[in-house]
């Protein structure tokens, strides 16, 4: 929000939570709404009511075509990487 985004550096500090990607803007309105914009974009690509339902109520990161990873998958990868590196 205040231009303080910093790329993840595992040797500096252990991260417990946070955004995965730089939103690409310091505009406070965009920072507040950008995730909703991504949700609406995903909903527009949904082909069935089932896809719409899972986009809204499924795990974060769910996709009908499997092109994105869920939050649990990303967390597991992160833990494996940090365990392997540390």
Tell me the pTM: 0.55
Q: What is the pLDDT of residue 79?
A: 82
Q: What pLDDT, on a 0 to 100 scale, did the predictor assign at position 1? A: 60
CA 18 vs CA 24, 66, 68: distances in Å: 15, 23, 18
70 close to 60: Cβ distance less than 8 angstroms: yes
Q: Summarize pLDDT for 19-46 with one digit per residue, the tens.
A: 667 788 889 899 889 888 888 988 898 8
Residues 6+ apart with CB under 8 A from 69: 61, 77
In degrees, rounded to 5, the angle at the alpha carbon of residue 31 between the alpha carbons of residues 25 and 35 is 115
Closest by CA position to 82, among listed 13, 6, 5, 19 = 13
Instruction: Give per-residue pLDDT as tens, 59-74.
Output: 887 888 878 888 788 8
Q: How confident is the model at residue 48 (pLDDT cuts 50, 70, 90)?
A: very high
Q: Can you give the residue ranges of every domain in the chain?
A: 1-86
């Amino acid at each position: 929000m205040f231009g303080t985004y910093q790329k993840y550096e595992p040797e500096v500090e252990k991260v417990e939570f946070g955004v995965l990607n730089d939103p690409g803007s310091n505009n406070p309105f965009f920072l507040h709404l950008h995730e909703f914009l991504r949700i609406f974009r995903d909903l527009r690509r949904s082909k069935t009511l089932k896809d719409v339902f899972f986009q809204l109520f499924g795990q974060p990161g769910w996709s009908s075509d499997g092109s994105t990873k869920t939050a649990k998958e990303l967390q597991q990868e992160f833990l494996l990487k940090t365990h392997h590196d540390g």
